[in-house]
């Protein structure tokens, strides 16, 4: 088991360890970490600028499935992207997607007058899913409970449509659907920028 975990590229492994460690700390720290590092609405007295990134390393302390699902997705897709890009670029991309998701969530909570906080790596993870489908669109993946291998672009496109549907209709409350879409949008803009820069610089990552 330890050998398998050590085979995960270093940045993906570090992100998983950091998220799991902070989740464990949350279980003992009560609301202290949430007050300081969760993403609060922009007009809340608890809002701080650093929360636009730190929220992505916290999860619902009352739901272990929240952190497990996010870390499993990061394990499944992040390691491939890290090997493809290298650790530095992968980390930069993950943080950009998380930041874009956080900004999107601030806009949404402002218009909905939502006073609650936001936590979770899902915005960054959805960006990772988007990039995986961008570079490996025909790669077959299985998403439970559907026991049929589907192309990555079909899975990611389906996720995006579901998030848009749930966000617009207000179903599945308590989930930051528009933040997930914001993470994907941040990923698209980042990848388009890299592709455009690649026309002038060989240091950019390969384009699809």
Question: What is the pTM (predicted TM-score) of this model?
Answer: 0.87
Domain covering 2-198 assigned CATH 1.20.1540.10 in the classification? yes
Torsional class of 113: left (φ above 0), alpha (ψ -120 to 50), beta (otherwise): left
Predicted confidence at residue 12, as pLDDT, reads 96
DSSP state of 207: P
Length reported for the chain: 208
- Quote the mean pLDDT of the chain: 85
Residue 43 buriedness (CB in 10 A; 0-12 / 13-18 / 19+): exposed
Q: How is the chain split into domains, by residue range?
A: 2-198
The pLDDT confidence band at residue 145, using thresholds 50, 70 and 90, is low
């Amino acid at each position: 088991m330890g050998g398998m975990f050590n085979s995960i590229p270093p940045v993906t492994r570090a992100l998983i360890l950091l998220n799991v460690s902070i989740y464990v700390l949350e279980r003992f720290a009560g609301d202290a970490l949430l007050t300081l590092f969760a993403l609060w609405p922009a007009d809340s007295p608890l809002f701080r600028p650093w929360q636009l990134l730190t929220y992505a390393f916290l999860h619902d302390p009352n739901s272990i499935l929240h952190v497990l699902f996010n870390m499993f997705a990061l394990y499944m897709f992040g390691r491939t992207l890290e090997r493809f890009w290298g650790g530095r670029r992968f980390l930069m991309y993950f943080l950009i997607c998380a930041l874009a998701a956080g900004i999107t969530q601030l806009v949404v909570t402002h218009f909905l007058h939502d006073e609650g906080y936001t936590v979770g790596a899902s915005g960054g993870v959805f960006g990772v899913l988007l990039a995986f489908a961008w570079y490996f669109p025909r790669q077959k993946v299985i998403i439970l409970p559907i026991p049929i291998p589907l192309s990555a672009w079909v899975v990611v496109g389906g996720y995006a449509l579901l998030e848009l549907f749930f966000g617009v209709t207000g179903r599945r409350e308590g989930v930051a659907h528009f933040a997930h879409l914001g993470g994907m949008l941040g990923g698209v803009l980042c990848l388009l920028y890299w592709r455009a820069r690649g026309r002038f610089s060989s240091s950019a990552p390969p384009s699809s």
